[in-house]
Structure 1
Amino acid sequence: MNPVALFWLLLAISFICYKLKRKKLSRVLAATAFILLFLFSVTPLPIWMLRNLEQQYHTYNPDSKSTQRPILVLGGGHTNDASLAYVHRLSVPALSRLAEAVRLYNLQPGSKIVLSGYSESGQMPNAVVMARSALSLGVAAKDTMMMVKPATTWEEAKYFKKRFGTAQEFILVTSASHMPRAMEAFRKLGMKPIAAPANYQIQKEPDSSLYPWKPSPNNLMYTETAFHEYVGRLYYKWFKEE
């Protein structure tokens, strides 16, 4: 999914073709590599692809009827640096997701926050780091629950279904770009999620163009994120069954 890796892969194959006297194919591959690099680092295409994902669901503001809906926060990664406070160990996506969950928790007295995220290499699970971060942000311990086993969105959906069933509506918190795939996964398993997106990467400033034509390393990151989500949605659609 990485556009830089794709660029160098195409150049490497182009070089091999050149050595094998396949010069026409070599030129085509090299030209393709540079065209793709231009598209994914200079043009507004990456911003458009990612914004198309992020704008499918908008900020959720609960009404008076939603006080008993649990809030599920999907895992987003963290560091295991023990010198840092738990809240500072969270990745940017995880911290943004947790902040959104705490905001909704404060608007819904009596609600529960379900924190998800597995353990990498036997270290502390992401769910535990988020739960302890939530406590430091004022969430009551009795209002937190954890799912420490799921490693993917699909596994999170299956585990949540097994634990909570399909009858109750719940608020699903994840990154805005990931929300379409997450909603599809939970709905495919018969559940009733309400989208509460967080971690918007494409943010429009009033006095600047949303789609500039200029080289930017952010464009490469946007491309990788968008490709990951689009391919992931196809994979869930074709290969995942209830």
Structure 2
Amino acid sequence: MEKLISPIYLFWILLLLALVLNAMKRKKTARLLVIIAIAELFIFSVSPLPIWLMRNLEQQYKPLDTPQVPEGTPIIVLGGGHVNDSLLSASHRLSGIARSRLMEGVRIYNKMNRCRFITSGYAEGNKVSQAELMAQTAIALGVKADDIIMLLQPKTTWEEAMAVKKYAGTDKKIIVVTSASHMPRAIQTFKQAGLNPVAAPADYYIKHDAESMLYTWTPSAQKITYTEKAMHEYLGMLYYKWFKK
């Protein structure tokens, strides 16, 4: 399913279908598919649309100003990926996304007068879980070990929300730290679970320098990445809205 929303995969699928149809003497349909393939790749790798899609997600919530929340409000840093390379330290086993989220969580923690710091992420087989790696890194960055709670089972945002609900209940606010592009889906999910989330976005992709143009027509592989990530989030929000009650 992930591959079907990739502009690159879609481009090659359309070209292969065009070749098949051309071999079947259906040349008009084949030419139409080639035109659609080229137009699709142009839209998602050249036009400003991918930047707009990502920025539309990332700008829905502003960075958290900690005085907005009561002291002691717990923080959860959502999982963002890791590898189990035993030659690397805990921080370097985390993906760049996970490290960015964790850094924002630690920043907020340091501004609070002590609070629970929740890490999340499962492990495959007998390997070290992401929650453990994030906890180890957080401790190295100054979070007190006694303040850390690890959620070792969640694999998805929905499972993270359910695990937090089981731990914290629905009465208190909880600070949710995740990527800015993922934040709208995370907030939607936590609210659907009956929780009271406070958004703390991190890991921004679209950063506007006042001295440069934000929306460009420059061909870029990065724009394809923006498209894939944005479509993943938009489709995820629809899926959770329709099938997670």
Q: 2:51 aligns with which of 31, 47, 54?
A: 47
* 1:22–1:64 CA distance, 2 compared to 1 (3 A): closer
Q: 1:159 aligns with which of 141, 163, 170?
A: 163
Match of 1:234 in 2: 238
How big is each residue's C-alpha offset from its partner over 1:21-70, in whole Å with a ceiling of 9 and x where there is no partner?
22111111111111010011111100000000000001001117521100
Give the secondary structure class of the aligned counterpart of 1:145. Answer: strand
Is 1:199 the counterpart of 2:207 in the alignment? Answer: no
1:123 Cα deviation (Å)?
Answer: 2.0
Query: 1:64-213 alignment to 2 at 5 Å?
Result: 66-213=70-217
How big is each residue's C-alpha offset from its partner over 1:99-120, in whole Å with a ceiling of 9 and x where there is no partner?
0000000000211110011113
Q: What is the letter of the counterpart of residue 22 of structure 2?
A: Y
Q: 2:219 aligns with which of 211, 215, 221?
A: 215
* 1:11–1:122 CA distance, 2 compared to 1 (3 A): farther
* CA–CA separation in structure 2 for the residues paired with 1:220 and 1:193: 31
* 1:91–1:204 CA distance, 2 compared to 1 (3 A): same
Give the secondary structure class of the aligned counterpart of 1:78. Answer: coil
* CA–CA separation in structure 2 for the residues paired with 1:184 and 1:137: 30
* CA–CA separation in structure 2 for the residues paired with 1:231 and 1:65: 31
After TM superposition, the runs of 4+ consecutive aligned structure 1 residues lying more than 3 A away are none
Structure 1 unpaired stretches of 5+: none
Which stretch of structure 1 is more off in the superposition, 47-56 or 66-75? 66-75
Match of 1:225 in 2: 229
* CA–CA separation in structure 2 for the residues paired with 1:171 and 1:213: 37
Aligned length: 241
Match of 2:39 in 1: 35
Which stretch of structure 1 is more off in the superposition, 52-61 or 6-15? 6-15
* CA–CA separation in structure 1 for the residues paired with 2:10 and 2:72: 47
- TM-score of the superposition, structure 1-length normalised? 0.97
- TM-score of the superposition, structure 2-length normalised? 0.96
* CA–CA separation in structure 1 for the residues paired with 2:32 and 2:173: 52
Give the secondary structure class of the aligned counterpart of 1:66. Answer: coil
* CA–CA separation in structure 1 for the residues paired with 2:126 and 2:157: 20
